C-alpha cells in the first residue's frame, strides 16, 4: 500500500503597523522593556473596548489580492474562546465565519513545472502575549499582546518537505515585496505550522482514510519547515506500519520541532477538533468594503515577483536563472534596474547599440561579484559603496575595451572598498588597456628575448607555451595589454 503524504501549511505573519490591532499601543515592541507597550485593551482588562486597526485590514487585503484571493465584502471578527495565561481576556479576537480573504492560490516552481497551491483563506487576528518560563515561575510580557496577525491557511496541496519549503519561501518573498511585514522567523514575525498526515485511500462515503494528523509548531527557519515535514512523513510511515492506527475524532496531535536532534516530538495528544465556541465579536462592528476601496488597494500593489521575473526575461533578455536571482528581493531588482537605466544613458551618449551585452554584463556583476562580496562582508544593497551607476560604468568601460576583464574585477574591488567611481580609479591608476600594436610588440619581443629556451621548445612543436608568453606579457604590462592583441603579436613574432 502506498502512503500519500498530504501537507497543509498555516503561516502567521505579524503586520508591521504603527499601532496594535485593537488599541493605540505601539506595535514596534521588539527589544523593548517588558510590559511597556500596554493599555487596558491589550492587557484584557474588563470593560476595555477594542477598535479595529484599518491599516492592518488594508494590509491583509493587499496580501489577499497578491494571493489571488476573493475578498469577503462583508467580513467580521469572532471570538475564539480558550484560556491561557498569555490570553487574559479568555478569548482571542480572530475571524472564523467570514475571513477577510478566501479562495486564492500561488504557484511554486517544482523542478521545471509550476505547481499551484490553493489558499483556503487568510484571516485577521491578534497576537497573544509572551510567557517567559523561569525556574519556579512564569512571567508574562504583554508587549506582543494584540499585535496584528494575518494567518494564511492553505489547502493540503503539498506532498513533501521540499514543496512546503518552496511555498513558505514564496509567501515570505511576496509579503516582503508588499512591504507589510519583515517576515523574520527568528524574531517571530513569521511562524510556519505544517499539518501532516498520510493518505491510504478513500472510504465508501468518499472520505479520506489517513494516518492521525500532526501539526508541527515552533519551527525556527524556512529550511527547518522542509526538514520537519520530511521527518514527520518518515515517522508517520513507521508508526503506521507498526500500529496501523488511523485518524479519528480524538487522535490529532501537536508536535514540536527539535532543531538540535532534527526531529519532531509530542507536545499534546488526544485532541479532537477543539471546541472553541466561536461567536461573533460584539464589541467590533462588522466590516463592509466597497468595490472602489478594493480596486484602490489593487491598484496600489507593487509589481509582484513572478510578473517582475517575466518582464526581466523579456525586457533585458535574461535567462530564467538570472531573472530568478535578480527578482528574489525587491531591493535587488530595483538596484539592477537602476544600473540598467544608467547603462542605457551612457550607451546612448557613446552610440553603443548592443544593449543586450551590457544588460548581461550588469547581471553578471550583480549575480557573481557583488553577491560574493555581500556574502563575505554581510552588507545590504543600501550599504554597498558600489552604486548602480558604478556597475554601469564598469560594463561600459569593458564594452569599449578600455579595460580588460581582469582589470575590471580589480576596479570593482576598489570601488567596493572606496566608493570611488570606476572612471576615476582607471584614470588615477593608469589602468587603461593598451591595444596599440607597436607598444605591445616591444614588450612581446622583450619577453621572447628573455626566454630563449622556451622559444626553442615552442618552435620544436610545444605550442602550449604560447599561454606562458601571454602570461609574461600581461605580467610585464600589469594586466593592461589587450590580450587579443598580445596573442596576435606573439604568434606573428614566433613564426618569424
Ligand atoms: Zn494596548
Ligand atoms: Mn491563528
Q: What is the pLDDT along the chain (496 residues), one digit of tens a residue?
A: 689 999 999 999 999 999 999 999 999 999 999 999 999 999 999 999 999 999 999 999 999 999 999 999 999 999 999 999 999 999 999 999 999 999 999 999 998 899 999 999 999 999 999 999 999 999 999 999 999 999 999 999 999 999 999 999 999 999 999 999 999 999 999 999 999 999 999 999 989 999 999 999 989 999 999 999 999 999 999 999 999 999 988 889 999 999 999 999 999 876 655 688 999 999 999 999 999 999 999 999 999 999 999 999 999 999 999 999 999 999 999 999 999 999 999 999 999 988 999 999 999 999 999 999 999 999 999 999 999 999 999 999 999 888 888 889 999 999 999 999 999 998 888 888 888 889 999 999 999 999 999 999 999 999 899 999 999 999 998 888 888 899 999 999 998 7
The cell for 403 is: 579595460
Asked if 473 and 486 touch (Cβ cutoff 8 Å), the reply is: yes
Minimum-distance ligand to the CA of 149?
Answer: 2
Euclidean distance between CA atoms 145 and 109, whole angstroms? 36
In this prediction, residue 404 carries a pLDDT of 85
Q: How far is the CA of 50 from the centre of ligand 1 (A)?
A: 9
- Residues within 5 Å of ion ligand 1 by Cβ? 23, 25, 39, 41-42
Residue tagged 606562458 (cell numbers): 468
Euclidean distance between CA atoms 186 and 486, whole angstroms? 55
Q: How far is the CA of 59 from the centre of ligand 2 (A)?
A: 17
Q: At what angle do helices 161-178 and 222-243 cross, to 10 degrees?
A: 150
Q: Write down the pTM of the prediction.
A: 0.87
Minimum-distance ligand to the CA of 146?
Answer: 1
DSSP percent split of the chain into helix, strand, coil, nearest 5: 45, 20, 35
Euclidean distance between CA atoms 371 and 369, whole angstroms? 5
Q: How far is the CA of 452 from the centre of ligand 2 (A)?
A: 80
Residue tagged 561600459 (cell numbers): 396
Q: How far is the CA of 144 from the centre of ligand 2 (A)?
A: 14
Residue 463 is given by DSSP the state: G
Q: How do 74-75 and 130-133 pair as beta strands?
A: unpaired
Q: How far is the CA of 193 from the centre of ligand 2 (A)?
A: 10
Q: How far is the CA of 47 from the centre of ligand 2 (A)?
A: 24
Count of other CB atoms within 10 angstroms of residue 464 = 9
Q: How far is the CA of 332 from the centre of ligand 1 (A)?
A: 36
Determine phi and psi for 345, rounding to 5 degrees: -65, -45
Of 354, 284, 366, residue with least CA distance to 325:
366
Q: How far is the CA of 128 from the centre of ligand 2 (A)?
A: 10
Residue 456 exposed, middle or buried by CB count within 10 Å (0-12, 13-18, 19+): exposed
Q: How far is the CA of 218 from the centre of ligand 2 (A)?
A: 14
Minimum-distance ligand to the CA of 50?
Answer: 1
Q: How far is the CA of 125 from the centre of ligand 2 (A)?
A: 7
Euclidean distance between CA atoms 73 and 63, whole angstroms? 15
Amino acid at each position: 500500500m502506498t502512503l500519500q503524504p498530504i501537507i497543509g501549511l498555516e503561516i502567521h505573519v505579524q503586520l508591521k503597523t504603527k499601532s496594535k490591532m485593537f488599541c493605540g499601543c505601539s506595535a514596534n515592541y521588539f527589544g523593548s522593556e517588558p510590559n511597556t507597550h500596554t493599555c487596558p485593551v491589550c492587557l484584557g482588562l474588563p470593560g476595555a473596548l477594542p477598535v479595529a486597526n484599518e491599516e492592518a485590514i488594508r494590509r491583509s487585503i493587499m496580501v489577499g489580492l497578491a494571493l489571488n484571493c476573493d475578498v469577503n465584502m462583508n467580513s467580521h471578527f469572532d471570538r475564539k474562546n480558550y484560556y491561557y495565561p498569555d490570553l487574559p481576556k479568555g478569548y482571542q479576537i480572530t475571524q472564523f465565519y467570514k475571513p477577510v480573504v478566501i479562495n486564492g492560490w500561488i504557484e511554486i516552481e517544482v523542478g521545471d513545472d509550476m505547481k499551484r497551491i490553493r489558499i483556503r483563506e487568510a484571516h485577521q487576528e491578534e497576537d497573544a502575549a509572551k510567557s517567559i518560563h523561569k525556574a519556579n515561575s512564569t512571567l508574562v510580557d504583554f508587549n506582543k499582546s494584540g499585535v496584528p496577525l494575518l494567518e494564511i491557511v492553505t489547502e493540503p496541496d503539498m506532498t513533501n518537505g521540499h514543496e512546503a519549503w518552496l511555498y513558505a519561501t514564496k509567501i515570505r518573498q511576496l509579503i516582503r515585496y508588499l512591504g507589510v511585514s519583515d517576515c523574520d522567523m527568528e524574531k517571530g514575525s513569521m511562524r510556519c505550522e505544517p499539518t501532516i498526515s498520510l493518505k491510504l485511500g478513500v472510504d465508501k462515503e468518499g472520505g479520506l482514510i489517513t494516518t492521525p494528523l500532526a501539526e508541527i509548531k515552533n519551527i525556527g527557519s524556512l529550511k527547518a519547515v522542509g526538514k520537519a515535514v520530511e521527518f514527520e512523513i518518515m515517522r508517520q510511515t513507521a508508526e503506521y506500519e507498526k500500529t496501523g492506527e488511523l485518524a479519528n475524532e480524538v487522535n490529532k496531535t501537536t508536535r514540536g520541532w527539535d532543531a538540535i536532534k532534527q526531529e519532531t516530538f509530542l507536545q499534546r495528544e488526544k485532541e479532537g477538533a477543539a471546541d472553541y465556541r466561536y461567536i461573533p465579536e460584539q464589541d467590533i462592528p462588522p466590516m463592509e468594503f466597497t468595490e472602489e476601496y478594493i480596486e484602490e488597494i489593487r491598484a496600489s500593489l507593487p509589481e509582484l515577483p513572478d510578473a517582475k521575473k517575466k518582464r526581466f526575461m523579456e525586457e533585458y533578455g535574461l535567462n530564467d536563472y538570472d531573472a530568478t536571482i535578480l527578482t528574489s528581493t525587491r531591493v535587488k531588482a530595483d538596484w539592477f534596474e537602476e544600473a540598467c537605466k544608467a547603462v542605457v544613458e551612457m550607451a546612448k551618449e557613446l552610440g553603443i547599440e548592443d544593449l543586450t551585452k551590457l544588460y548581461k554584463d550588469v547581471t553578471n556583476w550583480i549575480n557573481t561579484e557583488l553577491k560574493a562580496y555581500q556574502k563575505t562582508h554581510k552588507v545590504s544593497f543600501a550599504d554597498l559603496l558600489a552604486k548602480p551607476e558604478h556597475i554601469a560604468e564598469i560594463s561600459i568601460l569593458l564594452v569599449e575595451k578600455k579595460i580588460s576583464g581582469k582589470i575590471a574585477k580589480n576596479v570593482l574591488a576598489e570601488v567596493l572598498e572606496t566608493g570611488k567611481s570606476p572612471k576615476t580609479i582607471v584614470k588615477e591608476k593608469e589602468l587603461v588597456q593598451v591595444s596599440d600594436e607597436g607598444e605591445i610588440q616591444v614588450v612581446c619581443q622583450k619577453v621572447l628575448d628573455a626566454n630563449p629556451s622556451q622559444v626553442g621548445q615552442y618552435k620544436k612543436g610545444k605550442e602550449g607555451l604560447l599561454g606562458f608568453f601571454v602570461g609574461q606579457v600581461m605580467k610585464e604590462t600589469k594586466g593592461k595589454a589587450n590580450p587579443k592583441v598580445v596573442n596576435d603579436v606573439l604568434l606573428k613574432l614566433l613564426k618569424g
